Amino acid sequence: THTIGLIIPDNSNPFFAEVARGIEDFGFQNGYSVILCNSDGDLKKELAYIGVLTSKRVDGIVFIAATAKAEHIKPFLGEIPLVIVDRKMPDLEADSVLVDNFGGGYAATRHLIDLGHRKIGCITGPPDLAPSADRVAGYKQALKDHGLQPLDELIVEGDFRYQSGNEGMRRLLDLEPPPTAVFACNDVMAIGAMKAVQDQGLRVPEDIAIVGFDDITLASFTNPTLTSVKQPKYEMGKIALELLFQRISSSDLQGRQEIILDTTLVVREST
Ligand code: RIB
């Protein structure tokens, strides 16, 4: 049918929109149309959309999972060519396009240490998601490598959405004394966190430096502009389709490819 299915977990988060752009552009250039499905983090919706896409006989699916779970969809994927992006799914037999989340978390934290910060907080994404867990591991390792002890009270759980960044920062600001810098595991939470600081009459970065992750376009337009770990979002989408086209054209391809792309720290005003 020259159609590709794309399932993303949250269409309100610009990260997924920018990955989808790479997929849609490259698909269209190669004569494919893309059906975009938003699972909204809901396993039932994820399963429903797999059914919709298979009933429409798409040639392949690019899948960004809502959670680390895949057993609910595995029986329904059949032989349909599948490529996983961003969130590693060990129990799904598929090629994957990921980034070096550990290295990105490490670089974000080392940047804050190099600026002289010693009490550095972290607002995590969903703990069961590999990208968040790996970023937090990078944060902890950077602290240890510089003689600093990771403290549980400085690590607050978020869910990759604005509100959880705002609430997480409020909790960190209640500490006596509060951290002087915070690494948020994605830009959307970093933006929520920035508002929490400014709502208390404090300033970014003078009172609290903030680093995000993703480098969505918006990061260049916040006030102050947001320092962030850049993910190659457009390229992730394009490479995912290249892998998918290989699968579609030769289903007897052996083995699975795992592509891990580098991240880059982009320093702006928030640090
Ligand atoms: O902002 C959404 C987050 O979910 C991104 O960091 C991306 O890596 C995905 O895991």
Each residue's pLDDT, cut to its tens digit, for the chain (271 residues) gives 999 999 999 999 999 999 999 999 999 999 999 999 999 999 999 999 999 999 999 999 999 999 988 888 888 877 899 999 999 888 888 999 999 999 999 999 999 999 999 999 999 999 999 999 999 999 999 999 999 999 999 999 999 999 999 999 999 999 999 999 999 999 999 999 999 999 999 999 999 999 999 999 999 999 999 999 999 999 999 999 999 999 999 877 778 899 999 999 999 999 9
Instruction: Find all residues with CB under 8 Å of 52, minimum gap 6, and list them.
Output: 35, 37
Q: How far is residue 125's CA from residue 136's CA, in Å, rounded to a whole number? A: 9
User: Closest residue (by CA) to atom 10 of ligand 1?
Assistant: 131
Task: List all residues whose CB is within 6 A of at least one atom of ligand 1.
Answer: 13, 15, 86-87, 129, 131, 160, 186, 188, 213-214
The alpha carbon of 50 and the centre of ligand 1 are apart by a number of angstroms equal to 21
Choice from 7, 38, 97, 214 to test ligand 1 binding pocket (greatest atom count within 8 A of CB): 214
Size of the chain, expressed as the number of residues it contains: 271
Q: How far is CA 7 from the centre of its chain?
A: 14
Q: How far is CA 13 from CA 71, 74, 186, 255, in A?
A: 25, 26, 10, 32
Residue 133: half-sphere exposure toward Cβ, Cα within 13 Å:
9
pTM over 0.85: yes
User: Closest residue (by CA) to atom 6 of ligand 1?
Assistant: 186
User: Closest residue (by CA) to atom 4 of ligand 1?
Assistant: 160
The alpha carbon of 214 and the centre of ligand 1 are apart by a number of angstroms equal to 7
Ligand 1: nearest atom to the Cα of 16: 2
